[in-house]
């Protein structure tokens, strides 16, 4: 692809400057690519109604055409333009959770080009809550297709610097509105089947969704690239991967750190550079090891906020192996577990 000059504009995250937003909206209207902050991660936006513009998202990311893209709206009134046969439940849920980190899979309207949805008859839709995202969507007055603004299979971008690292020269503009607060992507809820199903755990938790949909289910199996009958192509196990090999430790709390220490020492003996991702309270127990350590913070929200940037930091430190453990599987930690499992490509070390 021919190299573009990628511009970065600093924008006020809470009160975005109208002139800057207008400039970005014009690029979208002209079929260009604009990366922008959302409350979850940075998105790489294009006019969702423009087949060519959507194609250029796939090209810029190096994303396979089989991986569908989420359409972003700023107003519930736009929903019938992109989806058909919308169930009442979608409107109920939208009233509770939009704008916010919840994506619905609905039946696709023919207004939305097939490449947005990788040829499927469905479309994923969400309304982000970040003021910059809302302002941009409003100014463009278009549904905007936006995957996470990272190169395919890399950790999602949570800052403008991450976007630049992955996509410099491949997109027109980055609106830099600071770090994305949540740090993990939206919850994806399939509403096209009898049984509402979470395809990807995220910012809106299973427990919260159960208060509105008591029988909501979660898809627990993660498909491998060679599996047949892929339901949601983004469920491919290899995803969110740092360059280093990532090892996910799982087991009872008291056994985790001792096992990670032992494993780290073995790796170091073999001449490998080791990186550890650990929460705040576990930092001191590995302080004596010659390893790179990144502090993930002291609770699930902080870990979510820091996780992808921590993976990128360890990549920059050129570690060969990254070791991390899970944080349980309730609340936001289920989304963290999902991202860690994918980054580890399914390789779990049970202790």
Binding mask 16-55 for ligand TXA (x = CB under 6 A): ----------------------x-xx-x------------
Which partner in ligand TXA, Mg ion, none is near 170 (CB below 5 to 8 A by kind)?
Answer: none
Q: Which is nearer to Mg ion, 108 or 200 (CB)?
A: 200
256 close to 325: Cβ distance less than 8 angstroms: yes
Distance (Å, whole) CA 104 – CA 71? 10
Residue 309, token pair as written in the block: 């940037």
Distances in Å between the Cα of 299 and the Cα atoms of 279, 280, 336 are: 8, 9, 11
- Assess 188 for contact with ligand TXA (CB under 6 A): yes
- Assess 158 for contact with Mg ion (CB under 5 A): no
Query: Taking the complex as a whole, how short is the minimal distance between the CB of residue 308 and Mg ion, in angstroms?
Result: 10
Cis peptide before 99 (omega within 30 of 0): yes
Binding mask 132-161 for ligand TXA (x = CB under 6 A): --------------xxx-------------
Query: Taking the complex as a whole, how short is the minimal distance between the CB of residue 5 and ligand TXA, in angstroms?
Result: 23
Q: What is the DSSP letter of 148?
A: B
249 close to 256: Cβ distance less than 8 angstroms: yes
296 close to 280: Cβ distance less than 8 angstroms: yes
Q: Which is nearer to ligand TXA, 68 or 113 (CB)?
A: 68
44 close to 171: Cβ distance less than 8 angstroms: yes
**The only residue of 117, 148, 186, 205 in contact with Mg ion, by rule CB under 5 A:** 148
Secondary-structure percent of the chain, ordered helix, strand, coil, rounded to 5: 35, 20, 45
Q: Which residues bind Mg ion (CB under 5 A)?
A: 148
Q: Which residues bind ligand TXA (CB under 6 A)?
A: 38, 40-41, 43, 67-70, 101, 103, 105, 117, 120, 122-124, 126, 128, 146-148, 185-186, 188, 199, 232, 234-235
């Amino acid at each position: 692809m021919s190299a573009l000059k990628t511009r970065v504009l600093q924008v006020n995250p809470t009160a975005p400057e109208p002139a800057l937003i207008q400039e970005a909206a014009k690029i979208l209207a002209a079929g260009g690519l604009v990366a922008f902050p959302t409350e979850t991660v940075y998105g790489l936006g294009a006019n969702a109604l423009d087949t060519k513009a959507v194609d250029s998202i796939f090209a810029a990311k190096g994303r396979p055409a089989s991986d569908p893209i989420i359409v972003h709206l700023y107003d519930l009134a736009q929903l019938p333009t992109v989806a058909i046969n919308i169930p009442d439940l979608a409107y109920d849920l939208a009233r509770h959770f939009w704008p916010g980190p919840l994506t619905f899979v609905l039946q696709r309207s023919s207004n939305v080009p097939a490449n947005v949805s990788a040829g499927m008859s469905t479309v994923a839709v969400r309304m982000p809550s970040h003021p910059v995202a809302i302002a941009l969507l409003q100014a463009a007055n278009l549904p905007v297709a936006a995957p996470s603004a990272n190169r395919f299979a890399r950790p999602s971008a949570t800052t403008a610097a991450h976007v630049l690292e992955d996509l410099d020269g491949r997109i027109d503009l980055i609106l830099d509105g600071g770090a994305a607060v949540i740090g993990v992507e939206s919850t994806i809820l399939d509403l096209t089947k009898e049984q509402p199903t979470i395809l990807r755990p995220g910012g809106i938790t299973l427990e919260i969704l159960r208060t509105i949909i008591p029988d909501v289910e979660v898809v627990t199996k993660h498909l491998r690239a060679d599996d047949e009958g892929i339901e949601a192509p983004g469920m491919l196990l290899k995803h969110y991967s740092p360059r280093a090999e990532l090892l996910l430790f799982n087991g009872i709390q008291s056994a985790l750190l001792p096992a990670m220490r032992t494993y780290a020492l073995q790796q170091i003996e073999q001449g490998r550079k080791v990186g550890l991702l650990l929460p705040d309270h576990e930092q001191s127990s590995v302080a004596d090891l010659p390893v790179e350590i990144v502090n993930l913070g002291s609770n699930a929200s902080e870990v979510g906020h820091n996780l992808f940037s921590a993976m990128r930091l360890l990549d920059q430190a050129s570690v060969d192996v990254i070791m991390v453990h899970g944080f349980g599987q309730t609340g936001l930690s289920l989304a963290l577990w999902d991202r860690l499992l994918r980054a580890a490509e399914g390789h779990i070390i049970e202790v």
